[in-house]
Amino acid sequence: MKVLFMCTHNSCRSILSEALFNHLAPEGVEAVSSGSFPSGRVNQRALQTLEAEGISTVGLSSKASDAFEGSPPDIVITVCDRAAGEACPIFFGPALKAHWGLADPSEASGSEAEITAAFEATLAKIHERVSAFLMLPLKTMSPDQLKAELNRIGSL
């Protein structure tokens, strides 16, 4: 099973989600990420946050969804923050779709400690949601059941 995490620039939230998901996922389940308007670079603080938690950053890059044309995802999860007025990217194709909105920690301001705390809080929220996802009985769930559970997880 392949899960695609999408946000606008594919530089922070979707990168954090991809890396943490792959860190926790069992064999046979993998995550990738992309953006509707990829920045072409990964946010350095996102990489630092992952590395501080012992999560590999090898191979992470900012890219568009067409990178997966030959190997489309089974599930697409958008992680943009609709509450902040962001336009969430749209993935065309048969994949099951869900939304797990996250505030963008790269927009945080304040002291170094406050900005670091914003990244850590975002990663903690992703950890909570990914852990809930990975506890689902994926092999026995119908697509409708899975979509309902993914939407529930997005509200955690």
What mean pLDDT value characterizes the chain?
91
Q: The pTM is what?
A: 0.93
Cα dist from 30 to 84, 115, 134, whole Å? 29, 29, 11
Strand, helix or coil at 36? coil
Tokens 């920690």 belong to 105
pLDDT at 144: 95
Which is nearest to 61 in space by CA: 48, 43, 82?
Answer: 43
pLDDT single digits (tens) 37-50: 899 999 999 999 99
Who wins on pLDDT, 72 or 54? 54
Give strand ranges (E) for 40-109.
Answer: 75-78, 96-99
Q: How far apart are CA 106 and CA 130, in angstroms?
A: 21
pLDDT single digits (tens) 134-146: 999 999 999 999 9
